[in-house]
Amino acid sequence: MPRKTRPRREDVPADDCLCNHCTGKCCRYFSLPIETPTTWDDYDSVRWYLAHGQTLVYVEKGTWYLVVMTRCQYLDTQNRCGIYMDRPKICRDYTTENCEYDEDWTFTKVFEDPKQIWEYAEAILPPRRPKGRAAQGAQGVLHQLGPPPG
């Protein structure tokens, strides 16, 4: 059986809801802004997010976001909201005016796994000091000075 193709946004009649032709993409993830990473510790936190799978981090217009790919529990088998009349405020405030109905995601930067974010951090941050280097340096100074008197 051939798959039914969905109409382009501009071809959906004005008296029809765009959601009636959608796959519920906006109900299969949520995205939250995160602090822009600037230090090794910040990038290590982003690396931790990405280590959990079903996540990605992207940058759009200079703002960093965490995406968690998870299907809303109220989305039915027809990709319709099962609690539409009682849906959360964030859903009521969301409009189809700028939704992703007919667009793929495009971002300034996108990171899908921990290795990618770590490679990016290595490219833009000053080199990390090896762990224990400060302690080794202190040991070397103490060794050069000799044992404490007395």
Give the residue with greater pLDDT, 67 vs 139: 67
In this prediction the pTM is 0.74
Q: What is the pLDDT of residues 86-119, one digit of tens each?
A: 999 999 998 888 787 777 777 889 999 999 999 9
DSSP codes, 46-76: HHHHHTTSSEEEEEETTEEEEEEE---TTB-
Q: In the chain, what is the straight-line distance between the N-terminal and C-terminal CA atoms, in Å?
A: 92
> Average pLDDT of the chain?
84
According to the model, what pLDDT value does residue 137 have? 52
At residue 138, does pLDDT exceed 50? no
Q: What is the pLDDT of residues 18-62, one digit of tens each?
A: 888 888 888 999 999 999 999 999 999 999 999 999 999 999 999
Q: Summarize the confidence of residues 1-14 as an average pLDDT.
A: 76
d(CA 24, CA 8): 15
Q: Give me the sign of the Cα torsion angle 79, 59, 61, 42.
A: positive
**Count of residues making up the chain:** 150
